[in-house]
Structure 1
Amino acid sequence: MARVADQLIETLRNDIRSGALRPGDQLEEAALAERFGVSRTPVREAVRSLVDCGLLETKPRKGALVRTLSAKEIIDLFEVAAELEGMACRLAAERLTTQKADAMQERLTDCEEAAKANDQNAYAKANLAFHDAIHQAAGNNRLIEQIEQLSGHINPYRALPYGMRGRLQTSTEEHTRILEAILANDRLRADELMRDHMMLQGQRLPLILEAIEAK
């Protein structure tokens, strides 16, 4: 039973990280049990675990929902993520190899294509893949672990600004400048650009959440 619950936890965690499940989305036991072809017992166990780690929350008469963070919590998380992502850029610039450079360039191309098509879902996936390519290029497993730990909390919010006019193109341009700095082995510039990229996104989020709540 525990093994089944563990599989559910990992799948739901990935759904939240990828943005497939967004803040405020409701998780119904019956629907999850049917989706995974299991009884409600491992579903309840998985939900309890995700509530305990802060990815889900429960509300009276609503059951389990993807946790919605306060504006302060979001900014706090993005401040930490910005520093870690900046560090990844510094290390990637220092440890650059042709293979890692090619991988980052391929992911940037995916971002460019998604932005041209104005495909927000595709861009959300391409964006995470671009950042992951930088993390892999950094070559520090402890750093990657820390970023992945944060990702479960911030990734549901990363795609929210994509609905803003021109944001996909602007984000791609920011990615381009970041990669140019990494490829030029300009580690301090790459760090600065990434931190600015992350915090500009984070500071927009409270306004976007206010607009969503007003609907």
Structure 2
Amino acid sequence: MNQPIGMKLSEQLRERIEERIVVGEYPPGARLDEMELASTFGVSRTPIREALIQLASAGFVDTRPRRGSVVAQIPPERLREMFDVMAELEAVCARLAATHSTEPDRAALEAAHRACEEALRADDPDAYYRLNERFHLAIYASCHNGFLCEQATQLHRRLRPYRRLQLRVPGRMSSSFEEHAQVVEAILRGDGELAASRLRAHVAIQGNRFADLVKAMAPPKEQAGAGGGRTGS
């Protein structure tokens, strides 16, 4: 299993298991057996156990007595609500970043934006996603409101597999980068309302289309659950 530079094996496994949960390969109620997952991904049980702990912390997995780790039930309407809240949180972050950011903050934001461009040119959606996350975190940090930054970061991590998958839609990386450019422009010129409006729209796009994306990427029903998960009894 190839490991991206700077990324722990358990984090890489968490991403791969998250993705299988999102597209329905590991459906709600499926038991995630450590031994089976270790065999599926060709690793030892230790990083699998660490990945499952991360997934449980993010709410993707429930830990149940005598059943171990089980895929949590996340209704689509609940996810839509989360994206709605995410859009508003990020809008507030952008508004505050436009008026509270320092020169180092703005330099970090521009650097994160340029890094996304490199991933776009390489046509690497997974690299773009990780750099995209850095871009959004740079905006959160620039607002200089610790509580808001914590809440936005927590929800961002909760939604990251859905945000990552939509970058694989043809043309979405390019559109995402252009939306980022508009947000950066508004922040750098200190226009808080425009920055908020643009970032809200950027996140809303992701929420509005995630259901169709997940449906399109879901495996055939007869294959659902293949690859290491067991449906609950």
TM-score, with length taken from structure 2: 0.73
Cα distance, 1:47 vs structure 2: 4.9
Tell me what 2:18 maps to: 22
Match of 1:36 among 42, 46, 56: 46
Q: Which has the higher contact order (CA 8 A, sep 6+)?
A: 2
The separation in 1 between residues aligned to 2:206 and 2:11, in whole angstroms, is 22
The separation in 1 between residues aligned to 2:191 and 2:71, in whole angstroms, is 39
**Residue range with higher mean Cα deviation, 192-201 or 154-163:** 154-163
Match of 2:139 among 128, 131, 134: 134
Cα distance, 1:99 vs structure 2: 0.8
Identical columns (%): 32
The separation in 1 between residues aligned to 2:208 and 2:193, in whole angstroms, is 22
**Residue range with higher mean Cα deviation, 85-94 or 20-29:** 20-29
Cα distance, 1:34 vs structure 2: 2.5
Cα distance, 1:146 vs structure 2: 0.7
Helix, strand or coil: the match of 1:94? helix
| Displaced runs of 4 or more, over 4 A | 11-16, 46-53, 65-68
Q: Does 1:191 align with 2:191?
A: no
**Residue range with higher mean Cα deviation, 153-162 or 101-110:** 153-162
Cα distance, 1:75 vs structure 2: 0.9
Helix, strand or coil: the match of 1:185? coil
Letter of the 1:22 partner, please give it: E
Letter of the 2:154 partner, please give it: Q
Whether the aligned pair in 1 keeps the contact of 2:18 and 2:55 (CA below 8 Å) is: no
The separation in 2 between residues aligned to 1:159 and 1:49, in whole angstroms, is 17
Whether the aligned pair in 1 keeps the contact of 2:94 and 2:195 (CA below 8 Å) is: yes
Unpaired stretches in structure 2, ≥5 consecutive residues: 1-8, 27-31, 221-233
Q: CA RMSD in A?
A: 3.2
Structure with greater helix share of residues:
1
TM-score, with length taken from structure 1: 0.78
Whether the aligned pair in 2 keeps the contact of 1:71 and 1:205 (CA below 8 Å) is: no
Unpaired stretches in structure 1, ≥5 consecutive residues: 1-10
